[in-house]
Amino acid sequence: MFINPMWDSESQRLGKQKCTPRGYWLHAVSDLVGFFALLLLLVTFVYLWARNATGTFHDSLWWLLAIPFSVALGGNLLHGYSWRLAEKKGFRYDYKTGEASWLEDGQRIVFKWPAGQETRSE
């Protein structure tokens, strides 16, 4: 929930970046949001532990755990939306060949790393 799946390869990462820069940017932001939510979860646990250690803990403080989980949910929604933007452009990634492809002006563009070459096919 807090950490998004890693890229399969540079072809997938760079292909998505070339396919939809906005979707790639949202993907990066969602990774940062998830990391922030994970840190927030740690801080929340430390706070709850400190309140317990000082004898000022109340059961009503458990709701604080909803904050980092809500932030993580927001990051997951951003991550999903970034992939929806790529799907709108026909983005596909072939795990066998390591090629990313998408549609641009009615042509399929194929990208593969490390060659870093784009080829257009109709």
pTM of the model: 0.86
Q: Could you count the other beta carbons within 10 Å of the beta carbon of residue 9?
A: 17
What local confidence, expressed as pLDDT, does residue 121 receive?
A: 67
Tens-digit pLDDT profile for residues 52-69? 999 999 999 999 999 999
Contact 101, 91 (CB under 8 A): yes
- CA of 34: how far to CAs of 10, 47, 48, in Å? 21, 20, 21
Kindly report the length of the chain. Answer: 122
What DSSP character marks residue 60?
G
* Residues whose CB is less than 8 angstroms from the CB of residue 31 and which lie 6 or more positions away in sequence, other chains included: 3, 4, 75, 79
Quote the CA–CA distance of 39 and 7 in Å, as a whole number.
Answer: 22
* Phi/psi-derived region of residue 91, left when phi > 0, alpha when psi is between -120 and 50, beta in every other case: beta
Find tokens 């990462």 and name the residue.
13
Cα separation, 18 vs 111, whole angstroms: 9
**What tokens does 111 get?**
């990208």
Give, for all 122 residues of the chain, the pLDDT tens digit.
899 999 999 999 999 999 999 999 999 999 999 999 999 999 999 999 999 999 999 999 999 999 999 999 999 999 999 999 999 999 999 999 999 999 999 899 999 888 766 677 66
